[in-house]
Structure formats: structure tokens, C-alpha cells
Structure 1
Amino acid sequence: MPRINFHQQLAALKDKLLAMAALSQQALSLALESYLTRNVSLCEHVKEIEEAINAAERDVDELAYDLLAKEQPMAIDLRFILAVIKINGDLERIGDQASNIAQRVQSLTDVPLIELPIDIPDMGEKVGIMIRTALQALLEADARLAEKVLAMDDEVDDMNRDVQAEMVQLMQQQPEISAQALNAIIVSRNLERSADHATNIAEDVIFWVRGSDVRHKQSLSAAE
């Protein structure tokens, strides 16, 4: 009976984490929409969601640490709880990135909306796919699916570098739109960091399922 209760608690922990993940995804999606449309009212919604994310993070951590202390799990159950704690932090930071984007929007209320020669919507879509794929891998305990997220990260990194290069050049050519260009750089960076967090989540899923730590391996291989 005690072991059955333990696995019920593990399932509850996973459900709490996935509920928090939904909030993080919603916050980032709304923040990006607010930036693309300059809908300032969405920024307040993002702020409310971020507060809910922070509360959820505390709840997940509390349950995870409680299970570690009382149940002393071994092997794959231990790896799962450790992965949850780390994923929990990455989801909270995705919420932070969403909040940062919303703050950018609020700073642009008096700045004209112009079309810039970059594709922030496409970048946002790719980041969203990375987050959804990482979470699907978590839901299905699918390490191969998690590996697909790792492969996507380089593309988002390249897009971020392209945005920065394009916007720096644009600011030099048209100083009068420096505010819009600078904010585009910041939003792009927030999206790139969200992609990094999705990558971290995918790596933690692989750690949970396979017991192998894949952090930094790609960069080491590239260096060799």
C-alpha cells in the first residue's frame, strides 16, 4: 500500500508540473502576441499568469522535496523527481522571459509600430514547438522525442544572431527607429533564452528516462 501511494504522489507531481507548463506556454504566447500587435492589455494578463507560475513553482518544489525526504526513492523514481525540480525552474524562467517581453511592449506605447525586416513570429513559433515537444517528451517519457528538441536549438540561435545583426545595421542606417530595433533585439533574446530552457527540459527528460547526462556534449563534440 505505501508504494502504491508513492506512485500516486509521483503522478500528482507530474500533473502539477504539466499544469504549470501550460501556464508558462500561455504566458509566452500572450507576451509575443502583445508585442506583435502592441496590445498593452495583454501585458497585464501576462503579469497575472506569471504570479500563478511563481505560486505553482513553489507547490511543485514543496511536493518534490517532500517526496525526496519521506520516500527516499531510488533509480528511475529518484531521477524523475530530480528532473522535475530542474524542469520546474526552467518553466518558471520561461514565465520570466514572457514577463520581460510584456515589459518591452509597455515601454513602446508611445513609439510608432513599424514593420521590421525580421521574422519574430516565425522565431516565436519555432520556440513554441520546442517547448511543446519537450513537454510531450516528458508526458510520454520519450527520450528520442526529447532529442529532437536539442537539434532545433541551433536554428533558433541562428535566428537570434540574424535579428541582432539586422537590427544593428538598421539602427546605423535609420537612427530614428532605434527604439523599435533595440526592443526587437531584446525580444529576440528573450525567445532565444526560452528555447534554451526548452532544451534544458529535453535534456532532463533524457536524464530521467536513460540515466545519461547529455548537457554540454554537443558543444564538446563541436570543439573536438
Structure 2
Amino acid sequence: MPRIHFQQQLAELKDKILGMAALSQQALDASVDAYLQRDASLCQFVRENEKAINSSQRELDEMAYDLLAKEQPMAIDLRFILAVIKINSDLERIGDQSMSIAIRTLDMLRGDPVDLPIDIDCMRNCAARMIRTALQSLLDADAHVAESVLEMDDEIDRMNRIAHEDLTRFIQARPELSQPALHAIIISRNLERIADHATNIAMDVIFWVRGADVRHQLSAAID
């Protein structure tokens, strides 16, 4: 009976992390929609959503630490709880990056619309796809699916690099519009960082399922 109760608690922990993920995904979509639609009310939604994300993070961490202390899990169950704690942190940071996009958007709304050489929607779609795939790998305990997220990261890195180059040239040609262009550079970086957090989630799933820490391996490959 104690073992059955523990497994139920692990299932509840997974449900809670998926609920946290839904909040983070809402924050990402609302912040980018606010930018694309020039909608201040969506920025306010992101701000309110951030409070829910922070509350959810605290609640989930408390539950995970409580399980570690009381149940003293071993092997794959221990790795799952540790992975959830790290994934929880990455999801909260996705919320933070989305909040940054909303803040930049609010500042841009004070001026006239500017046609900037950057495809924010395409970058959002790439980052969102990475998050969804990473979460699917968590739901299915599928390390192979998680590995596919690592391969997606190069694409959004490329988009961020191109955006930075194009916007830098735009600023040089139109210095009077440098402020909105600088905001767009930072938003592009926010989206690239969100994708990095999705990659972290995927690596945590691999750690949970296989017991392999691929973070240092990935860093070594980059170096």
C-alpha cells in the first residue's frame, strides 16, 4: 500500500509539472501575440500569468522536496523527482523570458508601428514546437523524442543570429528607429533563450529515463 501511494504521488507530481508547462506556454504565446497585434491587454495577461507561474513553481518544488525527504526514493524514481525540480525551474524561466517580451512590447507601443526585418512569429513557432516536443517526451518517458529537441536548437540559434545581423544593419541605415530595433533584438534573444530552456527540459528527460547527464557532453561538442 505505501508503494502504491508513492506512485500516486509521482503521478500527481507529473500532472502538476504539466500544469506548470501549460502556464509557461500561455505566457509565451500571449507575449508574442501582444507584440504582433500591438495589444497592451495581452501584456497585462502575461503579467498576471507570471504570478500564477511563480505560485505554481513554489507549490511544485515543495511537493518534490517533500517526496525526497519522506520517501527517500531510489534509482529512476529519484531521477524523476530531480528532473522535475530542474524542469520546474526552466518553465519558470520561460515565464520570465515571456515577461521580458511583454515589457519590451509595452515600450514599443508608445511609438508608431515600425516594419522591422525580423520574423518573430516564426521564432515563436520554433520555440513553441521545442517546448511541446520536450513535454511530450516527458509525458511518454521517451528519450528518443527528447533527443530530437536537441537537434531543433540549431534552427532557432540560426534565426536569432540572422535577426541580430539584419537589425544591426537596419539601425545603421535608420538610426532614428534604433530604439524599436534594439527592443526587437532583445525579444529575439528572449525567444532563443526560451528554446534553450526547452533544450534543458529535454536533457532532463534523458537524464530521468536513461540516467545519463548529456549537458556536459553537449557543451563539449559545442566547444
CA shift in 2, pair 1:24/1:83, >3 Å? same
How far the C-alpha of 1:221 sits from its partner, in A, is 2.8
How far apart in 2 are the matches of 1:100 and 1:6? 38
How far apart in 2 are the matches of 1:147 and 1:85? 20
How far apart in 1 are the matches of 2:210 and 2:70? 25
CA deviation vs aligned residue, 1:125-161 (integer Å, no higher than 9, x gap) = 0000000000010001010000000001111111111
Which blocks of at least 5 consecutive residues in structure 1 are unaligned?
none
Matched, 1:128 2:125: no
Amino acid of the structure 2 residue aligned with 1:95: G
How far apart in 1 are the matches of 2:180 and 2:166? 12
Tell me what 1:6 maps to. Answer: 6
How far apart in 1 are the matches of 2:218 and 2:73? 30
Amino acid of the structure 2 residue aligned with 1:27: A
Deviates more, 1:70-79 or 1:214-223: 214-223
CA deviation vs aligned residue, 1:40-77 (integer Å, no higher than 9, x gap) = 11011011111000000001100000000000000000
The alignment partner of 2:215 has SS state of coil
How far the C-alpha of 1:179 sits from its partner, in A, is 1.5
Matched, 1:155 2:162: no
Tell me what 2:44 maps to. Answer: 44
TM-score, length-normalised on structure 1?
0.97
Tell me what 2:143 maps to. Answer: 143
Deviates more, 1:37-46 or 1:115-124: 115-124
Deviates more, 1:140-149 or 1:210-219: 210-219
Tell me what 1:84 maps to. Answer: 84
How far apart in 1 are the matches of 2:117 and 2:88? 35
Tell me what 1:102 maps to. Answer: 102
Count how many residue pairs are aligned between Structure 1 and Structure 2: 223
CA deviation vs aligned residue, 1:11-64 (integer Å, no higher than 9, x gap) = 001101100100000011000000111101101101111100000000110000
Tell me what 2:204 maps to. Answer: 204
How far apart in 2 are the matches of 1:61 and 1:193? 22
C-alpha RMSD over aligned residues: 0.9
Amino acid of the structure 2 residue aligned with 1:161: R
Which blocks of at least 5 consecutive residues in structure 2 are unaligned?
none
How far apart in 2 are the matches of 1:154 and 1:194? 13
Superposition misfits of 4+ residues, deviation over 2 angstroms = none
How far apart in 2 are the matches of 1:86 and 1:99? 20
How far apart in 2 are the matches of 1:89 and 1:53? 10
How far the C-alpha of 1:222 sits from its partner, in A, is 4.5
TM-score, length-normalised on structure 2?
0.98
Alignment of 1:182-193 (within 5 A): 182-193=182-193
